[in-house]
Amino acid sequence: MAFLELRNIKKSYFLGQQEFAVLKGIDLDFELGDFVSVLGESGGGKSTLMNIIGGLDRNFEGEVTIEGRSLDHKQEQKLDEYRRGTIGYIYQSYNLISHLTVLENVLISLDMTALGHKEREERAKDLLARVGLADQIAKHPNQLSGGQKQRVAIARALAPDPQVIIADEPTGALDAQNTAEVLELLQAIAQEGKLVIAVTHSQDVANHGTRIVHLADGKIDSDERVHPAYPVTGEEVRLDSKAMPLSASFQNAWKHFAHNFWRNSLIMLGTAIGLFAVLLFSGLGNGVNAYINKQVSDLANPDYPTIVKNVSTKEQSKGKEATDLMQNTYQTMMIDYKKATLSEASLHQIEKVKHVKRVLPGYTFMNVTMAYQGHDVQTPKYQSWTPATNKSIIKAGHAPKQGEILVDKKSFAKEMDAKNWQSIIGQEVTMSFVAYDANNTPIPLTKTFKVAGVVDSVSPVAITNLATMKQILQDEGANTDYTFASAQIDQTENVKQAVKDINGLKDSTGTQNVLAISIGSMLDTINTIVSLATNVLAAISGISLLVSALMIIVTMYMSVSERTKEIGILRALGESKRDIRRLFTSESLIIGVMSAILALVMAYGLGFAMNAALYKIAKFNMIQVSVNNIIFTIIVALVISFLAALLPARRASRLNPIDALAAD
């Protein structure tokens, strides 16, 4: 039984409705150790027959049998395996991959063998030494002569240890000396027990073979045995072939990416700008949230919800947040003070709520004037110090004792002495505000206090202790009912439930009695607004990512067009459609990863500069890029680059290998 058998092979091309028969019932047998020259004029069907034998052409009639097993040309996977392990191609036009070195052109075939990395490299170097190119391995194809290129093609064809070498016009573009050298190499390959099939239209070339098959008008015109086939020992251990591993696809993609670095760098820059904008706005949102959380948390303890009198009716309360209703209470305080105060009954009600440990009442007065050494400063709020007040707001000095006051840093202390604002501590300041008697009659009050310390809070405020404030009101005959209270909750996780229960308290008319709000809920509201604004800005800047995706798509389509011949070469070497898709998606993903890295560098660089500038104003790092932001950016970059590569990669994988090899 012959090693390779062709039975009744027929092939036709169609031009419109007209059929042109190229092969008309070819029957041939081939043995290992043979050097078969297929002779014939151009257009006689020689190359078409080689494409069928090589597993590139699937659209024909007849049967191809290898070692007694029929080759099913309808199964893509089987054909890929056949080309990888059985066939080695040598082309007239060499078909070397231009952006790879001589060594890498040979290694690409070895990537589909079971050899380890070091073994692959050693075999490639040995083969190049055998064809006389040991000193040319680092060069690229454009640095070689025609004869050298053909010898690289021979080394690449031999690399995976195929049993069949197909040489399509191997000497057609060579001079006499290089032709003789190539033919000697082919004879040596046949002597090693391989089947060499050389297509030629030259009788001189054909005479170097052991057998000459003449093809004319799609038929076997003659089949002449010139020399006996070379003996085959059958003792040779062949290399095992395998599919192209993912790592090899990625390495090949990286090599092409590096080859076109400057073009790819423009795409990376465009993509990176979009990612950078999203990353920067996200970092800014994080910073603003953190800044607000810090400032608000400095002002009040999250375990102490603030409680005020509810002055809104049921109708006024519908659809409104507690913060809005609380603002209504403060506005009412300036018009009808008594209506905005908390009764003893209300305080007792609050004390009975589950999770409330104790209730700490206090006073708040609006629109206060403070005077020091002839300078008057308007302060929006004057309130009493309670255990709920966060001591971290005191930037100098101590909590107020009897007859003492805390003044605001920005609006008062620095106004008095910008450079040495701490000097206000121990000095006396005069404060004027308006209280009310039991009949809601205004009582203007002016009192002098010793400055105990300086505070830095979200909004300007003056603070005295509760006993001092109550004593002032009693001495002047003013209403001493409390205007707010803080409820100490037993555990932080119970704050939300306690606030809900306090807000559920009703007066005798069934109206909500008091309003409770925690710092946590306030922060949730503020953070939601900041996050919304951040997301809107990030989404707007994210539009540029769509442009980047289009850039990647266009670039990948250009790459497919530029690499059409390379795609044909890789398919002929045994790469599958999946391998081709993976090659292009890998390169696109490399662009995505590099874009993300560039965006991170840009974001951290500009973020550092902005933080340095803003820290002088806010004493806080306003750009805070989190690990989640980084992960999100990388994922977005990968998703965009992967999706952008899908259509070009699909187009590349569906190219007909024969048409791709014929591309210029």
The structure tokens listed for 434 are 């308006």
Which helix (H) or strand (E) segment is 471 a member of? helix 466-475
Q: Of 618 and 262, which is predicted with more confidence?
A: 262
The structure tokens listed for 317 are 């309360």
At residue 319, the pLDDT reads 47
Confidence label for 551 from pLDDT (cuts 50, 70 and 90): confident
At 88 the three-state DSSP class reads: strand
The rounded percent of the chain whose pLDDT value lies above 90 is 32
Lowest mean pLDDT of 232-236, 241-245, 455-459, 659-663, name the range.
Answer: 232-236
CB 271 within 8 A of CB 595: yes
Lowest mean pLDDT of 171-180, 221-230, 354-363, 431-440, name the range.
Answer: 171-180
**Other CB atoms within 10 Å distance of the CB of residue 530:** 19
At residue 104, the pLDDT reads 94
At residue 323, the pLDDT reads 58
**Other CB atoms within 10 Å distance of the CB of residue 263:** 13
At residue 489, the pLDDT reads 87
CB 663 within 8 A of CB 565: yes
Say if residue 312's pLDDT is above 70.
Answer: no
Q: Which domains does the chain have, with CATH numbers?
A: 4-242 (3.40.50.300), 248-296+525-662 (no CATH), 306-518 (no CATH)
Confidence label for 105 from pLDDT (cuts 50, 70 and 90): very high
Lowest mean pLDDT of 32-41, 549-558, 615-624, name the range.
Answer: 615-624
Q: What residues have CB less than 8 Å from 171, skipping those under 6 apart?
A: 150, 178, 179, 182, 183, 200, 202, 205
CB 257 within 8 A of CB 264: yes
Tell me: the pLDDT tens digits for 127-173? 999 999 999 999 999 999 988 999 999 999 999 999 999 998 888 77
b/e 376-399 (16+ beta carbons within 10 angstroms → b): ebebebbbbbbebbbeebbebbeb
Which residues on adjacent β-strands are paired with residue 36? Answer: 197, 211
CB 422 within 8 A of CB 452: no
Which helix (H) or strand (E) segment is 167 a member of? strand 164-168
At 435 the three-state DSSP class reads: strand
At residue 611, the pLDDT reads 82
Backbone torsion region of residue 616, taken as left when φ is above 0, otherwise alpha when ψ lies between -120 and 50, otherwise beta? alpha
Q: Is beta strand 514-517 parallel, antiparallel or unpaired with respect to 306-309?
A: antiparallel
Lowest mean pLDDT of 203-217, 255-269, 612-626, name the range.
Answer: 612-626
Say if residue 8's pLDDT is above 60.
Answer: yes
Tell me: the pLDDT tens digits for 346-399? 888 888 889 889 999 988 888 889 998 888 888 888 888 887 777 878 889 999
At residue 2, the pLDDT reads 86
Dihedral (CA of 314, 320, 326, 332) sign: negative
Q: What residues have CB less than 8 Å from 406, skipping those under 6 apart?
A: 385, 394, 397, 399, 400, 451, 452, 453, 454, 455, 462, 463, 464
**Other CB atoms within 10 Å distance of the CB of residue 322:** 22
DSSP per-residue codes, 99-117: TS-HHHHHHHHHTTBS--H
Confidence label for 335 from pLDDT (cuts 50, 70 and 90): low
Task: Show contacts of 626-634: CB within 8 Å, 24+ apart.
Answer: 626/282, 626/283, 626/286, 629/279, 629/282, 629/283, 629/286, 630/279, 630/600, 632/282, 633/275, 633/278, 633/279, 633/596, 633/599, 633/600, 634/593, 634/596
